[in-house]
Amino acid sequence: MNQAIDAILGHYSVRKFEDKSLTEEELSLLIKSAQAASTSSFVQAYSIIGITDKEVRKQISLVAGNQPYTVQTGQLFIFVADLARHHAILEEFQVDTEALETSEKWLVSVIDAALAAQNMAIAAESLGFGICYIGGIRNNVEQISKILDLPPYTMPLFGLTVGHPVVDKEKAKPRLPQSLVYHENTYQKTNPTILADYDEQIKMYYNERTAGKRIEGWSEQMARGLGQKNRLDLKAFLEKQHLNQK
């Protein structure tokens, strides 16, 4: 097709990297790619923190589930929803800052950050790097914020580890059938037969990948994982940061 589509469709998460940093040129190109993403009303409401210090990576890794691929990697990026810059500007222009505390502005900063991150991910993969998102940093947002010295009006959203992959190419995990995710004109309830077929497909995928050790459909996996109330400190943290309040 083309190299962009190839990079996009060829995606799989890499969890083992060479101990080799990105060059300044690579780093700069990845940040430039992130920044080229669309941004709501040009607000650019995010920051990217690159963790070069291995001790800091280790501290973050301890929060995020202690995975080696957050430490031994080309670069560990933390994507931060960031309205602190705007807060300072509004204060300077003597404009009321209360609007920054709304759910709307919170949503804008999260979406802005995610669009930027995915641009970086695609750029990285197109250049032959492997990537993995690290949602585990939300296990303790307070601790991550301390490590990164984050001010009010910011929140660390997720990490993105980018590096030279050492694993063999994995098989991309089969996604939900298009007809379940894509609806025409109005929302359609999930078709149980199509979902059951998908569950079978996922069972076969895990069976093959784990040599029979794990055989679980998508629905079972969701039922097992999504009932757990975790990261319940997030709401209070957002309140402390003056985000998502109104």
Q: Which residues are paired to 154 by β-bridges?
A: 82
Among 23, 66, 190, 210, binds a copy of itself (CB under 8 A): 190
In angstroms, the CA 118 to CA 127 distance is 14
The residue (of 166 and 219) whose beta carbon lies closer to a copy of itself is 219
Q: Which residues are paired to 51 by β-bridges?
A: 76
Site for a copy of itself in 150-189 (CB under 8 A): 150-151, 154, 157-158, 172-173, 175-176, 178, 180-187, 189
Per-position DSSP letters for 59-104, written without gaps between them:
HHHHHTT--GGGTSSSEEEEEEEE-HHHHHHHHHTT---GGGGSHH
* Least spacing, CB of residue 18 vs a copy of itself, in Å: 21
Q: Does 221 bind a copy of itself (CB under 8 A)?
A: yes
* Least spacing, CB of residue 196 vs a copy of itself, in Å: 11
Site for a copy of itself in 48-77 (CB under 8 A): 48-53, 56
In angstroms, the CA 235 to CA 106 distance is 12
Site for a copy of itself in 81-100 (CB under 8 A): 85-86, 88-90, 92-93, 95-100
Q: What would the two tokens of residue 194 be?
A: 């199509």
* Least spacing, CB of residue 75 vs a copy of itself, in Å: 10
